[in-house]
């Protein structure tokens, strides 16, 4: 099934703009800028939303303006209004299981303790079949430090640059994702640098 809605998770407001918990939102904003898609507040959807052409496909982009743990409120509202099935959704978010610079595509699965994903799954009627872009941000080392690590401090510039490079998605991969060819997209995106098209300096 083709992807009709791309969601970037994060917390609203300048306080959280460059924290690790917002890498999904930053990725979405970058995608919107890349394809000239404006994002505008729509109160009924509880988020910033835009629609436009990405590589010849009409796609909606959404940044929930709730806090991360209520992201499903926005995702569920948009999915219901536009009749988008779970398999037609891609969610980009921070992944503490991966170091900065590592990024993985995935389809289906649980929330692995991520409250934003937990909210999205619940809002979609416990349907977990949506695609995910897991953007590595590293782990603080202790569970008690997790909240401060994700939301309390901004990423250092060098780390942010590594994350941005690692989460860069080529037109080839993006087209495959949008067409619902997730396995083929994973094969290309996850290929070691020597096998990928063109030189890459960051692990994915």
Kindly report, residue by residue over 86-133, the tens digit of the pLDDT. 999 999 999 999 999 999 999 999 888 899 999 999 999 999 999 999
* 81 pLDDT above the threshold of 70: yes
Residue 196 lies in a domain: no
Q: Specify burial of residue 80 (Cβ count, 10 A radius: 0-12, 13-18, 19+).
A: exposed
Average per-residue pLDDT in the chain? 93
Say how many domains are in the chain: 1
Residue 42, token pair as written in the block: 């729509």
Which active-site residues does the annotation give? 21
Model pTM score: 0.92
Tens digit of each residue's pLDDT (9 = 90 or more) over 10-67: 999 999 989 999 999 999 999 999 999 999 999 999 999 999 999 999 999 999 999 9
- What's the rounded Cα separation, in Å, for the pair 203 and 99? 10
Residue 176, token pair as written in the block: 């495959």
As a whole number of angstroms, the longest Cα–Cα distance in the chain is 47
User: What pLDDT, on a 0 to 100 scale, did the predictor assign at position 201?
Assistant: 43
Q: What is the CATH number of the domain that holds 146?
A: 3.40.50.1470
**Residues of the domain holding 88:** 5-189
């Amino acid at each position: 099934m083709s992807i009709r809605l791309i969601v970037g998770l994060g917390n609203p407001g300048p306080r959280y703009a460059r924290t690790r918990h917002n890498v999904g939102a930053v990725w979405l904003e970058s995608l919107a800028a890349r394809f000239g898609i404006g994002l505008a507040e729509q109160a009924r959807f509880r988020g910033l939303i835009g629609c436009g052409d990405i590589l010849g496909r009409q796609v909606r982009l959404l940044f929930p303006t709730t806090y991360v743990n209520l992201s499903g409120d926005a995702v569920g509202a948009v999915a219901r209004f536009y009749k988008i099935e779970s398999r037609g959704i891609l969610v980009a978010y921070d992944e503490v299981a991966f170091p900065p610079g590592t990024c993985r595509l995935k389809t289906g699965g649980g929330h692995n303790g991520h409250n934003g994903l937990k909210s999205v799954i619940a809002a979609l009627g416990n349907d977990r079949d949506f695609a995910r872009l897991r953007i590595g941000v590293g782990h603080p080392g202790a569970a008690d430090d997790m909240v401060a690590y994700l939301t309390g401090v901004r990423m250092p510039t060098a780390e942010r640059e590594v994350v941005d490079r690692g989460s860069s998605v080529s037109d080839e991969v993006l087209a495959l994702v949008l067409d619902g060819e997730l396995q083929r997209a994973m094969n290309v995106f996850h290929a070691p640098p020597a096998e990928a098209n063109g030189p890459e300096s960051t692990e994915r």
